[in-house]
Amino acid sequence: MQVTLSPSGLEGPAAAWASTDLTRLAAGGLLWLGGYPDREPVAAYGGQSTSATALFGVVGALLGLIDKERHGAGHMIDVSSQEVITQALETALAEYELTDTIRQRVGDMPREAGTGIYPCADGHVSMVAGRLGTAQAWRRLREWLVETGTPDADELWAEDWEKLSFRQRPESVRRFSELFGAFASLRTKSELYREAQARSIALAPVNTPAEVLVDPQLTSRAFFREIANHESGAVANVPSAPYRFGDHESTAVAAVQPTTPTST
């Protein structure tokens, strides 16, 4: 069995084209969604096309091995980075098919009140409530603000705020951001996360890499392991397998070395 990762697959007019992360993001459509509406597109940070293609390659290899065990024949797994990136377009394809609407870049502006990234006492939190989350989450979010005595939070219970079209208006988004900002500025990411989870509101801290490394939950599961590079000798903390096989002491941990999109 062989797994091939390439920019556009092994067949077709673009099969022999060279590429970079930027051109792969553009070809797959994700570049169009990144950045601000009045500016040029901005690529997602960190070589996302390379990482995403590698993940799909691993899944393809595992499926190929399963099929080989069942039927005895190996496979050539052809993974196209362009096709992989199309899986990261969120609702862009569905919106175009159902409403003939082409999604545009929105920058850091929430698409509706209650859904977006908001500042708090020690950083930022990401929250999804309302149409993009659940109606119950939007109700519980407003109850939370009122219960804690947030100034002017009562106005969120006006009839207009029950309408999605109203919550999507730029002035509504800005007003909610002001109200929630006053509330969140008095609380840390951890406090907001714990309270929101207790209320079934989809809210999570926006953590730095350093904060992720000391996350209590991940630390308790020994998710990060020290791995030494065989060539340079450098030691780094890397994620381990996100699963456990029965006996925790016999957990299998696999370290995958980074590869380029054209490696086989």
**Rounded percentage of the chain residues whose pLDDT exceeds 70:** 92
Digit-coded pLDDT (tens) for 186-238 = 999 999 999 999 999 999 999 998 999 989 889 998 899 888 888 888 888 88
Question: What is the predicted pLDDT for the residue at 167?
Answer: 93
Q: In sequence order, which residues have a C-beta less than 8 Å from that of residue 208 and are 6 or more positions away? A: 123
| Residues with Cβ within 8 Å of residue 150, at least 6 apart in sequence | 179, 182, 183
* Average pLDDT score, the chain: 88
Q: How confident is the model at residue 259 (pLDDT cuts 50, 70, 90)?
A: very low
Residue 221 has phi, psi (to 5 degrees) of -95, 5
- The yes-or-no verdict on residue 177 having pLDDT over 60 is yes
Query: What predicted TM-score, i.e. pTM, was given to this entire model?
Result: 0.68
Residue 62: its pLDDT value, please? 93
pLDDT in tens, 124-149: 999 998 765 567 899 999 999 999 99
Q: How many CB atoms lie within 10 A of CB 130?
A: 23
Residue 115 · residue 129 · CB < 8 Å = yes
Q: According to the model, what pLDDT value does residue 144 have?
A: 97
Give the residue, 109 or 163, on which the prediction is more confident.
163
Under 8 Å between Cβ of 235 and 224: no
Note the pLDDT tens digit of each residue in 48-63.
Answer: 999 999 999 999 999 9
- CA distances 8 to 19, 78, 160, Å, are 9, 10, 48
Give residue 74's pLDDT band: very low, low, confident or very high (50, 70, 90): confident
How high is the pLDDT of residue 61?
94
Residue 131 has φ and ψ, to the nearest 5°, of -60, -40
The neighbour count for residue 207, using CB atoms within 10 Å, is 14
pLDDT-wise least confident of 88-102, 173-187, 202-216, 250-264: 250-264
